[in-house]
Amino acid sequence: MKARPRGGAGRGLEGAATFGRRATGIRVRQPTIDDALSIGMLVHVALSDAPSAPLDADELGDDLEQIGRDFVSAMSFGNESLLLAEVGRNAAGVVRLVPREFVRGAHIATMQLLVAPTLRGRGVGRALRDAGLAEGFGGRRFERIEMAVASHDLALERLVGGDGARTWSLERVERRALKVDGRWRDYAIWVTEQG
């Protein structure tokens, strides 16, 4: 068995790139306010290269701890769900479930995923997706969960399409919904239903 280099000593993103092709020991849990700085750092770094994100990192400001507190507070005092993935002691990603208004007689949530760029392609997104679906269809009792995938976000498209445990359907395409580097991109809205 080969020895693996250890990650950074803190709870942030440092050392996250030292893991092998597939991250082992992915742990997904509900964060607390003590995780605010780690979440803020993760969100700021991950948004710098998140094609399907509805906003850019610079739109959130520079106070990383406040960014993290805002994410945790929306879960604690609002009606959102937030789960944090860790690999070792490093924040690896987050998944948010944001309830929508009661739509056509169904309780619907939008799922948003962010994974640290250094840990993409290593199973973190899949672990977050699965935990988010379990939370959404379990404790939260949503009837449908949707995910917006930008036309140039091939990784998220593979994550939705590669879910062998459940069926995702393309509900609609929002044309020219996102402007990236001066070019308009489409959003594909994928949905899955309880059951």
Instruction: CATH number of the domain at 131, please.
Output: 3.40.630.30
Average pLDDT score over the chain:
81
136, 81 Cβ separation under 8 angstroms: yes
In a domain, 2, yes or no: no
In a domain, 28, yes or no: yes
Q: Which domain holds residue 176?
A: 24-193
Helix (H, G, I), strand (E, B) or coil at 195: coil
In a domain, 93, yes or no: yes
8, 90 Cβ separation under 8 angstroms: yes
What per-residue confidence (pLDDT) applies to 103? 63
What per-residue confidence (pLDDT) applies to 164? 74
d(CA 48, CA 162): 25
In a domain, 37, yes or no: yes
In a domain, 172, yes or no: yes
In a domain, 6, yes or no: no
19, 116 Cβ separation under 8 angstroms: no
Task: Using pLDDT thresholds of 50, 70 and 90, give the confidence band for residue 106.
Answer: low
Q: What letter does residue 174 receive in the DSSP assignment? A: E
From the CB of residue 27, how many other CB atoms can be counted at a distance below 10 Å?
Answer: 11
H helix and E strand count, the chain:
4, 7
Return the closest-CA partner of residue 184 out of 192, 195, 173, 194: 173
Return the closest-CA partner of residue 129 out of 193, 173, 85: 85
Mean pLDDT of 133-157: 90
In a domain, 112, yes or no: yes
Looking at the structure of the chain, the number of domains it has is 1
The gap from C-alpha 177 to its chain's centroid, in whole angstroms, comes to 20
In a domain, 3, yes or no: no
142, 97 Cβ separation under 8 angstroms: yes
42, 114 Cβ separation under 8 angstroms: yes
Q: Tell me: the pLDDT tens digits for 153-180?
A: 888 888 888 777 788 999 999 898 777 7
- Higher-scoring residue by pLDDT: 65, 61: 65
Say yes or no to pLDDT of 183 above 60.
Answer: yes
d(CA 100, CA 98): 6
168, 192 Cβ separation under 8 angstroms: yes
Say yes or no to pLDDT of 134 above 90.
Answer: yes
